């Protein structure tokens, strides 16, 4: 018996990195998945976002685990496309019990684009808001409760990352996600829909290992020094975050709502 047997999870940013990891971890525990990703380049990004092939790989790996999957290319900034994908996914796989609003960008780079602030806010904050506005009414109407996890960051709890437009946008967007989480947790509690946020420190994904990110951190040693954790770890594996997400969305977390869960080796608690 899996920990989320027979549940349906809608996951944004699922083509690779943490989103793919969450999809596979939940599928291992019995969930069917509606996977969504933009799968297109972003002009202000100095690294490649996921490709359609990445999304197809996620879907293939879910099927290999014996679970059902429907995968869609859509941008979380585009609420019409997002709604169309969500409704098509529900039509194919079934109504959702679990939502993981994980899609995001980190646009800080040595030569960051002027648009980096706005694109970061649009994707990391408005994209999460769009996701909530689309999923919540159907979850309420269904009356079966549910669990929603919003992906923030340790940068959603602390004023780290320095003065660049993209970094300020990242910190502001990830703090904004906490505001959304806290409000929706209150609004949705009477419907037995739980809402929490996860706050990972550095996770080894293409976002972190991109050459543009490495160059940014090398050029800003005071910022990279802030990545160190009290526990003797370098970076997290995506699965470390997925296991925390799994706890929150499973019945083990059935009375946990409105919380900010750091997965950070003690980073947030450090001065
Ligand atoms: N990697 C880290 O160190 C780290 C640490 C803390 C929090 N986070 C957060 O974790 C989440 C997942 O990031 P990751 O580390 O897996 O990076 P990633 O770049 O590997 O994955 C992000 C995914 O989101 C997708 N995406 C980006 N913009 C989108 C949009 N507008 N619409 C739909 N999909 C879009 C990308 O194509 C990609 O597949 C992000 O919200 C990120 O901010 C990452």
pLDDT single digits (tens) 23-33? 999 999 999 99
Structure confidence at residue 227 (pLDDT): 83
- pLDDT, tens digit (0-9, with 9 covering 90-100), for 163-180: 999 999 999 999 999 999
For domain 8-255, give the CATH number.
3.40.50.720
The whole-number pLDDT of residue 28 equals 98
Among 24, 120, 207, which residue has the most ligand 1 atoms within 8 Å of its CB, making it the best to mutate?
207
Ligand 1 centroid from CA 207, angstroms: 7
What distance in angstroms lies between residue 103's CA and the mean position of ligand 1's atoms?
5
pLDDT at residue number 271: 72
CB atoms within 10 A of CB 116: 25
Exposure b/e, 158-190, CB count within 10 A at least 16 = b: bebbeebbbbbbbbbbbbbbbebbbebbeebee
Give yes or no for a contact between 213 and 175, defined as CB atoms under 8 angstroms apart: no
Q: Which residues line ligand 1 (CB under 6 A)?
A: 12-13, 15-19, 37-38, 49-50, 75-77, 102-106, 123, 127, 151, 153, 200, 202-203, 205-208
Domain positions in the chain are 8-255
pLDDT given for residue 1 in this prediction: 86
- Residue 48 has a pLDDT of 96
Catalytically active residues are 170
Which atom of ligand 1 is nearest to 39's Cα?
37
Pick out the chain residues at pLDDT < 50. none
Give CA–CA dist 14/22, Å, rounded. 8
From CA 129, how far away is CA 140, in angstroms rounded? 16
> Cα(259) to centroid of ligand 1, in Å?
21
Q: Please give the distance, rounded to the nearest whole angstrom, from the Cα atom of residue 1 to the centre of ligand 1.
A: 30
Closest CA to 207 of 184, 241, 180: 241
The separation between the first and the last C-alpha atoms of the chain, rounded to the nearest angstrom, is 42
pLDDT, the chain, mean: 97
Could you tell me the pTM of the whole model? 0.98
């Amino acid at each position: 018996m899996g920990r989320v047997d027979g549940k349906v999870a809608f996951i944004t940013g699922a083509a690779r990195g943490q989103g793919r990891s969450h999809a596979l971890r939940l599928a291992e525990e019995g969930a069917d998945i509606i996977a969504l990703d933009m799968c297109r380049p972003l002009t202000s990004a100095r690294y490649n976002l996921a490709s359609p092939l990445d999304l197809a790989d996620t879907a293939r790996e879910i099927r290999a685990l014996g679970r059902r999957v429907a995968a869609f290319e859509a941008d979380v900034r585009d609420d019409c496309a997002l709604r169309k994908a969500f409704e098509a996914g529900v039509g194919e796989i079934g109504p959702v019990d679990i939502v993981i609003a994980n899609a995001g960008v980190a646009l800080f780079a040595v030569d960051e684009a002027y648009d980096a602030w706005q694109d970061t806010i649009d994707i990391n904050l408005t994209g999460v808001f769009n996701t909530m506005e689309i999923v919540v009414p159907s979850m309420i109407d269904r009356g079966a409760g549910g669990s929603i996890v919003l992906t923030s960051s340790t940068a959603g709890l602390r004023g780290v990352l320095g003065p660049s437009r993209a970094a300020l946008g990242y910190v502001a967007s990830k703090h904004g996600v906490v505001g959304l989480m806290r409000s929706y947790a209150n609004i949705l509690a009477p419907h037995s829909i739980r809402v929490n946020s996860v706050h990972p420190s550095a996770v080894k994904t293409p976002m972190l290992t991109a050459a543009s990110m490495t160059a940014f951190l090398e050029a800003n040693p005071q910022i990279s020094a802030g990545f160190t954790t009290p526990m003797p770890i370098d970076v997290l594996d995506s699965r470390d975050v997925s296991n925390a997400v799994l706890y929150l969305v499973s019945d083990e977390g059935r009375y946990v709502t409105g919380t900010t869960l750091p997965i950070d080796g003690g980073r947030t608690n450090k001065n």
